[in-house]
Structure 1
């Protein structure tokens, strides 16, 4: 499986409606605090928008709803991995991405046979408080050796100026949240990411 090198992560279908038409090919819907009815609405809208624009949608955490809504890709953190029904996810034909931050989590992720492994934070990040120090570029190369041929996603503190470094270290895809969503011009920043990652397609 090949992942697009530009991996956008947003917290609403409104962001998907705004940014995916610019040429985004891989997007994660990451919604943490919302009631189930509204979450279903968000997933349905995101799915329809992504289908319209030939973009791969990945649903964060909510694997049951993803299956019910006919989505074909979910991303789980390590906490969710402990409770998720992986056999049900697999039998539904849903692909799986997993987060990792250390060697123990990496071993657990590889055992689950995911469709990609994510490593982070690569650099300091403001998205959420992390108990892990920044991983750095050498860790990317180590993880790539460990997970290949599974695609490796990098996340945490990335911006266009850091992309060549992470791809040269072995990343297959670079995920971004705040560098775009907190930008004064998210559309322009998205175009910059697309242009910068084009050479790694």
Structure 2
């Protein structure tokens, strides 16, 4: 869930349904808010500049993700740094969808992440 969704979310219903609660954060204040909800995971981002949507937050950089999931601006060329900082998973959108050859790029992602799966 995004920060704007958290205020209206029924966290108890989410947990009763057996779903994992994940919360997005962009800065320390949002992180503090997210942790109060006792989520199963927290996403911190963007880590790199992203073109998926306009962001009012500055990129967080690799140093901030040692124990957090990361998001924002991932490419095949950057993924090793993300995992080397301790991230356990990563998601990608525009590096595949905006590529001239999305199927080939998806295969490149599979190859680049094979050692961490």
Is the shorter-chain TM-score for this pair beyond 0.5, marking a shared fold?
yes
Contact 1:122-1:135 within 8 A present in 2 as well? yes
After superposing on structure 2, the runs of 4+ consecutive aligned residues of structure 1 that deviate more than 3 Å are none
Give the structure with the higher percent strand: 1
* CA–CA separation in structure 1 for the residues paired with 2:50 and 2:84: 21
Aligned CA RMSD, in angstroms, stands at 1.1
Compute the displacement of 1:99 (Å): 0.4
Alignment-derived partner of residue 6 in structure 2: 81
Alignment of 1:171 onto 2:87:
yes
The 5 Å alignment of 1:1-201 reads 76-141=1-66, 144=67, 152-201=68-117
Return 5+ residue gaps in structure 1 as ranges. 1-75, 145-151
Cα pair 1:101 1:120 within 8 Å, conserved? yes
Unaligned runs of 5+ in 2: none
Does 1 or 2 have the higher relative contact order (CA < 8 Å, sep 6+)? 1
CA distance in 2, matches of 1:157, 1:118: 14
In 1, Cα distance between equivalents of 2:38 and 2:48: 26
Partner SS state of residue 129, structure 1? coil
| CA–CA separation in structure 2 for the residues paired with 1:129 and 1:113 | 28
1:175 is paired with a residue of what secondary structure? coil
For residues 95 and 174 of structure 1, what CA distance do their matches in structure 2 show?
Answer: 16
Following TM superposition, by how much is the alpha carbon of 1:111 offset from its aligned partner in structure 2, in angstroms? 2.1
